[in-house]
């Protein structure tokens, strides 16, 4: 019984010393609120994790036929982890319509050639117009790329 009281006393002293208590929760809340936990897009073997339904665009015409989806934070995480081994293209940046789609596909192909990347290298397709970005993503998959992600607004 005496050892239980000793351990209880040590626990209370430890909590007080580290700021554990109700006041510490209020101070820690902003830090925890700013923390964003992001699941990775690729598993340890390079396979794709399934896309959560929450990432599917609400507009059916902004969905891809064969590409995957990524939350902006997931896309940023992948880019930080792999650097130049990830191609990033902004759909509709520059030329409009089908000319813009073709230009985006050429940009990704050029990135792959410049960095000697294979068809399995990840590609992130961003764009203000998700319909156009979905077309770009589908065209990249049709060109043989296997890890194309349409970055949605989540």
Mean pLDDT of 119-130: 94
Name, of 14-18, 49-53, 146-150, the range with top average pLDDT. 146-150
Residue 12 has pLDDT above 90, yes or no: no
For residue 42, what are the β-bridge partners?
A: 48
pLDDT for position 11: 46
For domain 55-151, the CATH class is alpha beta
Mean pLDDT of 120-126: 96
Q: What's the rounded Cα separation, in Å, for the pair 133 and 125?
A: 6
Kindly indicate the confidence band of residue 43, based on its pLDDT and cuts at 50, 70 and 90: confident
Sequence ranges of the domains in the chain: 55-151
Q: What is the value of pTM for the model shown?
A: 0.73
Mean pLDDT of 93-118: 88
At residue 70, φ and ψ (nearest 5 deg) are -140, 140
């Amino acid at each position: 019984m005496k050892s239980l009281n000793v351990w209880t006393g040590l626990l209370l002293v430890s909590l007080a010393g580290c700021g554990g208590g109700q006041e510490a929760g209020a101070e820690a809340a902003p830090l925890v609120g700013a923390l964003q936990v992001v699941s990775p897009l690729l598993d340890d073997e390079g396979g794709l994790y399934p896309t959560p339904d929450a990432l599917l665009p609400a507009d059916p015409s902004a969905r891809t036929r064969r590409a995957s989806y990524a939350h902006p934070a997931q896309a940023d995480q992948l880019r930080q982890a792999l650097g130049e081994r990830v191609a990033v293209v902004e759909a509709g940046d520059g030329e409009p319509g089908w000319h813009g789609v073709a230009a985006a596909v050429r940009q990704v192909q050029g990135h792959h050639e410049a960095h000697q990347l294979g068809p399995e290298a990840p590609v992130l397709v961003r764009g203000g117009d998700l319909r156009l970005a979905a077309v770009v993503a589908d065209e990249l998959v049709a060109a043989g790329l296997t890890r194309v992600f349409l970055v949605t607004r989540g």
